[in-house]
């Protein structure tokens, strides 16, 4: 029981694998409709399967939770993924409690204590991972210095077996009407080395590397996880398709071909 006499949240007990699979499919389709592609920078880190993971990322967009769900389902299918959400919001979308999301009260001692308590319980099992938008607010990926919430590094002190893995996210436009959803993992940090400043520095370096990848605008530097939509659509693409037919050519909606 909590100090207020109410039952504590139980994210592990409430999580439904069937609901997780269903909602991951929904998010995958949503991102396929909204983006040209979901891509992850290469090379990807080699993460051990016998250690719990704290994935901590920057927070550039409303799309971040959806992208985290897609990344978890595509890259870590054998792990149970969990994540915190503002308590008031999760009460409006209670089904999210069935997919590993648990509520916390931000900017309050009680909320900080709940995050540490639930996070430590989740990361007590090597099959689990906790994903957090560590900045705690929306922030443009170009803003420096990169600041993360103190609770993220404090959690690592409680889970000595866990690895902290920085994750950078960006949503740039390249050559198509729709943007790209890009992600890049940094090198994992053991709990003994995951102090606050080191974690901030590791996330900053990972964001800088992803910025370089994004500016290069080269799909060959990424692995495509989800294929989205290309082309403009409407009358313009209809005209382009007709011109290709008249020339005996195959129509490609994308303005620029890619290898992956």
What is the mean pLDDT, run by run of 10 residues, along the chain of 260 residues?
A: 46 96 97 97 95 98 97 97 93 92 90 94 98 96 97 97 98 96 98 98 98 97 94 51 59 54
Sign (positive or negative) of CA dihedral 109, 84, 36, 43: positive
The full set of domain ranges for the chain reads 11-229, 231-260
pLDDT at 7: 40
pLDDT at 2: 37
Measuring CA to CA, which residue among 59, 62, 106, 108 is closest to residue 84?
Answer: 106
Q: What is the distance of C-alpha 135 from the center of its chain?
A: 13
Measuring CA to CA, which residue among 179, 184, 233 is closest to residue 44?
Answer: 184
pLDDT at 15: 97
Half-sphere exposure of 7 (CA within 13 A, CB side): 4
Q: What is the distance of C-alpha 17 from the center of its chain?
A: 19
Look at the block and give the residue holding tokens 């959803």.
181
Q: What is the distance of C-alpha 244 from the center of its chain?
A: 39
CA–CA separation, 39 and 19 (whole Å): 24
Contact 63, 178 (CB under 8 A): no
pLDDT at 246: 61
pLDDT at 251: 42
pLDDT at 243: 58
Contact 181, 30 (CB under 8 A): no
CA–CA separation, 53 and 183 (whole Å): 17
0.85 cut: is pTM over it?
yes
pLDDT at 1: 36
Tokens linked to 150: 């103190």
CATH 3.40.1130.10 at 11-229, yes or no: yes
């Amino acid at each position: 029981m909590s100090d207020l006499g109410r039952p504590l949240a139980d994210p592990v007990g409430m999580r439904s694998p069937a609901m997780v699979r269903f909602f991951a499919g929904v998010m995958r389709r949503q991102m396929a409709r909204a983006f040209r592609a979901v891509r992850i920078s290469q090379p990807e880190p080699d993460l051990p399967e016998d250690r719990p993971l704290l994935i901590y990322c920057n927070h550039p967009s409303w799309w971040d939770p959806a992208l985290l769900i897609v990344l978890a389902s595509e890259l870590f299918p054998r792990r149970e993924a969990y994540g915190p959400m503002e308590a008031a919001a999760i009460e409006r979308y209670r089904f999210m409690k069935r997919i590993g999301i648990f509520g916390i009260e931000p900017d309050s001692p009680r909320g900080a204590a709940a995050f540490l308590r639930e996070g430590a319980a989740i990361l007590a099992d090597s099959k689990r991972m906790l994903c957090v938008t560590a900045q705690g607010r929306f922030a443009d990926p170009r803003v420096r210095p990169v600041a993360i919430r103190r609770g993220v590094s404090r959690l690592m002190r409680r889970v000595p077996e866990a690895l902290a893995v920085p994750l950078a996210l960006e949503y740039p436009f390249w050559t198509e009407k729709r943007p790209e959803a890009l992600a890049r993992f940094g090198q994992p940090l053991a709990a003994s080395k995951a102090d606050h400043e080191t974690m901030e520095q590791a996330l900053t370096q990972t964001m800088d590397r992803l910025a370089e990848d994004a500016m290069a605008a080269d799909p060959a530097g990424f692995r495509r996880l989800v294929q989205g939509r290309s082309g403009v659509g409407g009358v313009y693409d209809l005209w382009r398709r007709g011109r290709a037919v008249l020339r005996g050519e195959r129509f490609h909606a994308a303005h620029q071909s890619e290898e992956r």
